[in-house]
Structures are given as C-alpha cells and as structure tokens.
Amino acid sequence: MMEWSVQGLIPKSHAILLLGQFHSGIVWLEAQLAVCVASGKKFLDEFQVERQPVILIDEESGTNSFIRRFYRLARGLEVDLTRIPLLCYSRCDFILWDTYKRKWLKDLIKQQRGSPLVIMHSLDKVMTHEKPNATGIGTRAGEFWHEVRDAGATVIMVHQTNIKSKTSIEDWDVTHLAAGCTMLVEGCDTAICTFRAPVARTEFVIKPQERRVKLKVRRPFSIVLQEDESRSWAKLAVTEGLPELRSKNVKHISALVSQ
C-alpha cells in the first residue's frame, strides 16, 4: 500500500523533482511544504500530510529573505516554528560532489525520528553551476538523490529553469521544462512542475507528472498567495477552481484527492 508524505501528491520515501521558472512560486511552495509537514498542518489547506521531521537546505535565497519568508508563513499557518522538527540551513555551502557534505546529510537523516523530508534548493547551486544536461551530470545528480532517499528520506530536489518560452498548461511537460536533460528527469520517481498563471493576482499552477508511481492528483490545479497588506503573514492555498483549464476534465482538487 502506498504511503504518502502529502496525501495523493508526494509519495513517501521517493525522489521528487520540483521544476519551475523563476517567479513560478517554487520558493513559497517548498517553504510552506516544509512547515506543513513538520507541523502536521494541511498542505495548501487541502492535502493531509504525515507529520515528519524536515531538513531544508537552501543555497539560493539570501539568509534574511529566507528567514522573513518562514516567519510570514508561520504566522499565516498559525505555527510556532520553535516547536516543530524543522531544520533549516541557508547558504551552508552544500556541494553535491562533496563526499563530506553527503555523509553529513546522511548522518543527519539517520538522527531524525521516522522518515524525514529533505528539500534541497536548488539543483543548480548544489551542483556548483554545472549544467544538468552536460554528459554524465544528470546521471550523477540522480544517483545522489537516490542515495539520500535510500538513507531513509523522502527527497525533493528543486530545479529553477530560465526557459522563457510560452506554452499552454496542457503542454507544460517536465522534459521540456528540464531543458532537454533526459537523465535529470529519468533520475526522479515523481515530477511536479510549477508556473505563474496569467492572471492579475499572485496565482500559480501546479502540474503533477507521474513517473514510477501512480498519483491520486494527476491534473493541474491552481494555488494563490494570500497575504495581508503589511506583508506580515502569508500562505498558499488552493483556489476554488481551475480558470485556466476550460475542459470537461476539470475537477475541484478535493474530488481529485479523494479518488
């Protein structure tokens, strides 16, 4: 029977590739996922989670913006960050090819209770800017996150792309988004794409893509960034419908999760 870190969306003990362009909601998505899994709060107000320790390594954001984002989410989600098993490392110089750093991470995973969620942002940074589509690099990256998974974790590797070509949601494919890096895609168990929706408010579209396991949520769905005017709190939540997808296959996300 399938076990889930996030019901219907993120399988437990799997390697997940989270892909998106800059400003596609990835940073908010990964941060809220970390807080929700560590606290047991519903993810995006819709998805049940299995409460687990979370290890988040962020080599992309500046430390001040990283901290500010988490405190805003904590207020929006009504979570006390000091009381949840969330370990955050910002700009800790984690290098994928560094044997010492890899051992440090695997030892850290073993010290946690249960099966922790490990989120790494971003692939470009931890690979020290080596191109994922270079010969052998995508394969080595895949071997690394399987190594982390086999150490007892659910691992999410975040990869921000600079592809700027426009495409429809239905055609938004993980292979295209990975800039032709077949081995990068082949190295993951599940893939999730994100991009900014073409609407006035801050809205994003999430597109799960099945690879080695069947997901309960298979259709794209929209989420919106909710925040107060003073920007003291924030959170992401699923919108009521899918305005970008006008077809008979569109369903509310609650129905998808319950199937």
Provide mean pLDDT across the span 40-54: 96
Q: Which CATH number belongs to the domain containing residue 151 in this structure?
A: 3.40.50.300
CB under 8 A, 24+ apart: contacts of 79-87: 79/35, 79/39, 79/41, 81/35, 84/35, 84/38, 84/39, 85/38, 85/52, 85/53, 85/54, 85/112, 85/113, 86/34, 86/35, 86/38, 86/39, 86/53, 86/54, 86/56, 87/53, 87/54, 87/55, 87/56
For residue 85, give the nearest of 130, 50, 128, 45 by alpha carbon: 50
State which residues form the domain around 92. Answer: 4-258
Compute the CA torsion angle 210, 215, 217, 221 (nearest 10 deg).
-30
pLDDT at 47 over 70: yes
When comparing pLDDT for 257 and 168, which is higher?
A: 168
Q: Say if strands 10-11 and 154-161 run parallel, antiparallel, or are unpaired.
A: unpaired
Q: For the chain, what is the domain count?
A: 1
Question: pLDDT, tens digit, for every residue of 157-214?
Answer: 998 876 555 555 555 555 555 555 566 777 788 889 888 877 768 989 898 888 888 8
**Confidence band (pLDDT; 50, 70, 90) for 241?**
low
Provide mean pLDDT across the span 105-121: 95
* pLDDT at residue 165, rounded to an integer: 56
pLDDT at 225 over 90: yes
pLDDT at 254 over 50: no
